[in-house]
Amino acid sequence: MKTIKGPALFLAQFAGDEAPFNSWDAITKWAADCGYKGVQVPSWDGRLFDLEQAASSTGYCDDFKGKARENGVEVTELSTHLQGQLVAVHPAYDSAFDGFAAESVRGNPKARQEWAVDQVKKALSASKNLGISAHATFSGALAWPYVYPWPQRPAGLIETAFDELARRWVPILDHAEECGVDVCYEIHPGEDLHDGVTYEMFLERTGNHPRACMLYDPSHYVLQCLDYLDNIDIYKDRIRMFHVKDAEFNPTGRQGVYSGYQSWVDRAGRFRSLGDGQVDFGAVFSKMAANDFDGWAVVEWECCLKHPEDGAREGAQFVSDHIIRVTEKAFDDFADGGADEAANRKMLGIE
């Protein structure tokens, strides 16, 4: 068994234009002061990170890591959630997602998709230069508008969507193999990879690519009424990244999973700060330890009620309290009477 590393914090929800959230030096000092040992970096945020330089310069990466370490934290992973989303966009979402892209490719879906692929590849190269072996992203979605089959879906529609999704991602996964980096898809509603079944559909079409891995986040499973503990055991060999995020699902006679287009505060399913929701993190951390997960426990703060800085500080302590320092010996070793094959056969009555 292995002890999970952490706590770490995903910085995407905290980066901003005001100190201490507007520079790499300041935000890493703040994260360390909150009690974090690592930070996950949004690769699209130029206030914190220069993706172009990181992809081409080991010197830049050494300085970037060095500043973080000097301030008390490690760089755990890079994220391309926004760019990964743009690898596959259904036309219904063109306007909504255009803002994720560089201005030069907005309004041009083909150029935007090519830009997104290049961005993810550069982030994988940057991960290699940083000495990081796992990368966080989204799959994007072509089939999501058809998630509920009314009117019934034409035969082959979903298969065609997943064939195309895999076609777009396999060159990226091959580049990840060259870099020695796992691509960890956050299994998330709104993505074509939103549960175990859809992940398996994708994985099969990539030829079970060794770099097509998972980012495990139990909050997204709570809101889908999916067994988030069983999921760990099913996909333990593919889970290479862990977002620690809480959620609650409280259906009523008026709304359930779809939540009636309500704001986050008024939804039946809501993300909450750690400890305020329904996720059994004692069981989650136990399974992760038993299954030899040796990555980082990364807090992703998303809460519709609590202030983010309070959630961040509380989250660091919460994760620290839940990380299991695994044992190197069995609790009943004191009662070991010693044995050999002959003694074993005698105990079993075997001549």
Give the model's confidence band at 334: pLDDT under 50 very low, under 70 low, under 90 confident, else very high: low
To the nearest 10°, the Cα dihedral for 52, 54, 60, 65? 140
Domain of residue 30, residue span? 5-347
What is the spatial distance between Cα 176 and Cα 189, in angstroms, rounded to a whole number?
Answer: 24
Of the candidates 11, 132, 121, 129, which has an alpha carbon nearest to the alpha carbon of residue 61? 129
Q: Is 258 helix (H, G, I), strand (E, B) or coil?
A: coil
CA 63, distance to chain mean position in Å, is: 25
- Whose structure tokens read 């914190």? 48
Confidence of residue 336 (pLDDT cuts 50, 70, 90): confident
- For every residue of 268-328, DSSP letters joined together read SEEEE-TTSSS--HHHHHHHHHHTT--SEEEE----SSS-HHHHHHHHHHHHHHH-----S
Task: Quickly state the pLDDT bin for 335 (edges 50, 70, 90).
Answer: low
| Residues 51-80 pLDDT 10s | 999 999 999 999 999 999 999 999 999 999
pLDDT, one tens digit per residue, over 271-329 is: 999 999 999 999 999 999 999 999 999 999 999 999 999 999 999 999 999 999 988 87
How big is the chain, counted in residues? 351
* Residue of 242, 237, 241, 231 lying closest to 208 (CA atoms): 237
**Average pLDDT of the residues in 24-36:** 98
pLDDT band at 33 (very low <50, low <70, confident <90, very high): very high
User: At 332, which CATH number?
Assistant: 3.20.20.150
Q: pLDDT (tens digit, 9 = 90+) per residue, 171-183?
A: 999 999 999 999 9
Positive or negative: CA dihedral 51, 52, 56, 62: negative
Q: Of 38-42, 89-93, 234-238, 346-350, where does mean pLDDT reach its minimum?
A: 346-350
**E strands of the chain, at which residues?**
5-10, 38-42, 74-80, 134-137, 182-186, 212-216, 239-244, 246-249, 269-272, 296-299
What pTM was estimated for this model as a whole?
0.95
Number of structural domains found in the chain = 1
Mean pLDDT of the chain: 96
> What 3-state DSSP class applies to 257?
coil
